Amino acid sequence: MQTPLILPAPELCRLVREARETTLKLVADLHDQQLEVPLLGTVNPFRWELGHVAFFYDVFLLPALGERRFQLDGAEKLYDSFKIDHDDRWGLPLPSRQETIDYLARVQARVLARLEAAADDAQTTYLTLLSVIHEDMHAEAFAYMRQTLGYAAPPFGEAPREIGGGPLPGDVEIPGGVFQLGATPGPYFTFDNEKWAHAVEVAPFRIARAPVTNAEYLGFVEDGGYRRPELWSHQGWLWRSKAGAQHPVYWARGGAGWLRRHYDRYVDLEPHHPVVHVGWFEAEAYCAWAKRRLPTEAEWEMAASAAAAAPGGGKRRYPWGDDPPTPERANLDGRRAGCVDVGAFPEGDSAFGCRQMIGNVWEWTASAFFPFPGYVVDAPYREYSAPWFGYRKVLKGGAWATRPRFAWNTLRNFFTPDRRDAFAGFRTCAR
């Protein structure tokens, strides 16, 4: 029987306040003109995105807490992401910047007041965490939107980015066997697409100890990887040709070597950082060139989760165990305002010796995003998973900008294979 997760009202209120502080920090330094972004497929208007964050609490959490009306008249005609097509969001009569901030504040005030008066129960905890983690997702989206648009780096780094660690070459051997893929019932937050753990047969395999680095990926680029159709799948080559891609999207040749655009400035390509902002098609082509392959979701999760380097050893919530992430174990929460060497954070190793399976970069897997056996839509957020099953690919692990409460081994992120804007990289397996 599952033990429900129940958090007391003061803790829920703290999480709500913390998420909102981060959200506002990520847009506070942008002037009004920067909020008026061009129509692009991978971004939303900033004011729409902010209003949508408030609307989520307004439509999913506040009614469950007894609130009978939206905190902004007509909000459902502005911010419902499933009723308003992406391209139509630029033509909406969106409230001004200040009006949007006021809407956020009104919603937060009502949420806090309602939470303080509510009983401590599993439903209140679940809906509050759902709303907070949804806001966390959009905070990360703000971080990569700023990269897409060439704005200044987000103002939330707290620690030096260059901490060393170097490369971490080589593979680890995973014995394979029957593995329980997916989340197991327990007192923690779980999305519907993780439910529930089910037995899968995994053949023995070898997986890289660390994600592919910039230096490794550069070998692919300089060997003409983007000009060799034999390395690409049919769909991948169609994408490459249409996009005109010749290298990762933010790379550029400098006078003395390769550079990488980090927000609004170019920096020397960091050889031991993981390659980032590459799509699934690019990862697939690199693997063909390197005579490697992407891990399946089950392989990735087994390498991250197995509690002992042998079948039947149990399963961990995080690579290092069941304790939540700490700054010593993973590069999360924007603390370092970017990626670090793949050899950093040895305290976060999995039982098999894989490093940085949580944090630094999201990792593409070979697996398409489909429901697990017995999948049931979680109410009330029925649109979180079900509309996206099929063409999207599963990513695992979280990135440097991911909030720690949105990173665990069974978490399934999902993007289309052409996406290059997210903080995504990959690790490989031996064929």
Cα-Cα-Cα-Cα dihedral sign, residues 406, 151, 327, 111: negative
One domain for residues 270 and 419: yes
406 three-class SS: helix
154 in a structural domain: no
How far is Cα 13 from Cα 8, in angstroms, rounded to an integer? Answer: 9
Here the tokens at position 326 are 């700490």
The reported pLDDT for the residue numbered 343 is: 98
One domain for residues 428 and 317: yes
How far is Cα 148 from Cα 325, in angstroms, rounded to an integer? Answer: 28
How far is Cα 221 from Cα 223, in angstroms, rounded to an integer? Answer: 5
158 in a structural domain: no
Element housing 148 (H / E): helix 122-149
One domain for residues 143 and 195: no
Residue 35: domain span: 9-149
One domain for residues 176 and 137: no
Number of independent structural domains in the chain? 2
Four-CA torsion 139, 319, 325, 108, nearest 10 degrees: 40
The reported pLDDT for the residue numbered 162 is: 81
Which amino acid is residue 366, in one-letter code?
A: A
The residues that bridge with 253 in the sheet, in sequence order, are 258
Here the tokens at position 337 are 């305002």
Alpha helices of 29-73 — where are they, by DSSP H? 32-35, 46-56
The reported pLDDT for the residue numbered 2 is: 66
One domain for residues 319 and 227: yes
CB 183 within 8 A of CB 190: yes
The reported pLDDT for the residue numbered 264 is: 97
The residues that bridge with 205 in the sheet, in sequence order, are 174
One domain for residues 351 and 295: yes
Regarding beta strands 257-262 and 265-268, do their DSSP bridges make them parallel or antiparallel, or are they unpaired?
Answer: antiparallel
One domain for residues 137 and 273: no
User: Cα-flanking dihedrals φ and ψ of residue 178, to 5°?
Assistant: -80, 125
One domain for residues 98 and 186: no
CB 169 within 8 A of CB 192: no
Q: Please report, for the domain that includes residue 409, its CATH number.
A: 3.90.1580.10
**Closest to 216 measured CA to CA, from 358, 341, 365:** 341
3 in a structural domain: no
The residues that bridge with 254 in the sheet, in sequence order, are 257
Written as one string, the DSSP assignment of 305-360 is HBSSSSTTS-B-SBTTBSSPP-TTT---TTTTSS---TT--GGG--TT----SSSS
One domain for residues 261 and 125: no
How far is Cα 61 from Cα 376, in angstroms, rounded to an integer? Answer: 21
Element housing 304 (H / E): helix 297-305
348 in a structural domain: yes
CB 259 within 8 A of CB 266: yes
Cα atoms found within 13 Å of the Cα of residue 98, Cβ hemisphere only: 0
Q: Please report, for the domain that includes residue 87, its CATH number.
A: 1.20.120.450
327 in a structural domain: yes
Close Cβ partners of 212 (under 8 Å, ≥ 6 residues apart): 274, 275, 283, 286, 425, 426, 427, 428
Could you say which of 122, 149, 176 is where a domain stops? 149
CB 325 within 8 A of CB 318: yes
155 in a structural domain: no
159 in a structural domain: no
One domain for residues 76 and 193: no
One domain for residues 428 and 356: yes
One domain for residues 192 and 331: yes
User: Cα-flanking dihedrals φ and ψ of residue 258, to 5°?
Assistant: -85, 145
In the chain (431 residues long), the average pLDDT of successive 10-residue segments reads: 86 98 96 95 96 97 94 96 95 97 98 95 96 98 97 87 93 95 94 97 98 98 98 98 98 94 97 98 98 98 84 82 96 96 98 97 98 94 94 97 97 98 98 97
Q: E strands of 205-250, at which residues?
A: 205-208
395 in a structural domain: yes
Close Cβ partners of 315 (under 8 Å, ≥ 6 residues apart): 180, 184, 197, 305, 306, 307, 409
CB 26 within 8 A of CB 71: no
Buried b (16+ CB within 10 A) or exposed e, 82-111: eebeeeebeeeebbebeebbebbeebbebb
Could you say which of 84, 119, 149 is where a domain stops? 149
The reported pLDDT for the residue numbered 227 is: 98
> Does the predicted TM-score (pTM) go above 0.95?
yes
